[in-house]
Structure 1
Amino acid sequence: MPIALITGGSRGLGRAAALALADSGHDIVITYRTGQSQAAEVVDRVVATGRRAVALQLDAADGASVGAFATALPDALASLGGDRLGVLVQNAGVAGRTPLGAIDEDAVQQLFDVHVKGVVLLTQALEPLIADGGRIITLSSGLARFTAPGMSVYGAMKAAVESLTRSWAAELGHRGITVNAIAPGPTATDFAGGMIRDDEAYRRGIVAMTALGRVGEPTDIGGAIALLADPRSGWVTGQRIEVSGGARL
């Protein structure tokens, strides 16, 4: 069976992606930074579908952690009966407000380390383990297209991810590997303190600006990721696919 790796797969969009890919026939590797018990619950959910799964610790912002993870991954793949990844989903992320006039250097560095440096280093480290004809799916954001108060640096980092996605699609095309970015719109998770999920007034404001008249759910994003991983999406590469219900059209 093909094996899919989802970074940040213990909760939120990563959890939804892991479950959607398991439903479509993939065995699963997820990473977590601190949520070991949550990761174990996702593994149990995947196993309950009849697929195999394992969870590994990874701090995507730490180059040493990325190196150790890349070294350990072949053994994890072997435990699932394989030696190659069919799908790599670069989902790990962190929120951070950076209103102009109050931007902290450490906050900029953290956003860069997780969303850009970590994605670059991990993709480079794992590229030899991705099967020819495989899939790399990065996570961008609607905020690479539209704006929200205080989210300028986060949006800029996601725009960088989209640029990397296009470049890697060109570089890896000779191996038949597709590279695409999913750009979620406002989605009800615990990201950024769960505001979209929990603040009803905030949700109403989003709904008013969204063509389909609701906020996104994690399963909306997980389903889109599974679609890109499907063999029938093999002629799609270098693309940014916004999954937002028509937010701010």
Structure 2
Amino acid sequence: MTDTALIGVGLYTLAEAERLVGVPAGKVGRWLRGHRAHGRQYEPLWKPEVDLGDERIYLGFRDLMEVRVAAAFIHAGLSPQKVRRAIDLAREMIGLDRPLSTVHFRTDGRTVFLRMAEDDRDRLIDLFRKQYAFREIVEPSLKHVDFGEDGVPRRWWPLGRRGHVVVDPERAFGQPIESTTSVPVASLVAAVSAEGSVEAAAAAWDVPSSAVRHALEFSSLGEMRKAA
């Protein structure tokens, strides 16, 4: 893919995805590359949006959003194989390649799991017997996500709008930016290190000091995730 083709798609390494969504890079790699365990080959949960032709795994913005929802289901007790089955069924019912992170899935996802239970003659887990339990899993994963009219995620506010950091595949190739200035978070954080203070970094970039503080707050969240 060319740089132009990545506009509106986003580009994230596994390490960047881990910092953003909090799911270990190795786990995301297994989900998107497939893996072999106990003599059995497991296929990828889905094909990543981005292929740079170097055999490494990269994610697009939609992949990031899909990972968040898939991780929530696995944390709730579903096996990756059942998540894969849910994705396949949701693709049939919703008609989108990455259905878990859509508004449509938030509405129709419980039907997907009930159909799985019927088709597989497996009750899955009691969690999906009640609508509120299903929503308790899905809603936090899609929190602070802006959707387009087609129900597809368009941008994500990791700390909420009040955090003033947005991940938008239409801007800066999807890297986190400070929303009031559109300056990449990484650039503002690096400026603090280089200039020695928030005020000096703000002057160097000709932005308000508050913008630099927003970037530092977001960056500290990523550091806490790495330390956890």
Q: TM-score, normalised to structure 1's length?
A: 0.29
Larger-gyration structure (1/2): 2
Write 1 or 2 for the structure with the bigger share of strand.
1
Q: TM-score, normalised to structure 2's length?
A: 0.31
By relative contact order (CA 8 Å, sep 6+), the higher-ranking structure is 1
Write 1 or 2 for the structure with the bigger share of helix.
2
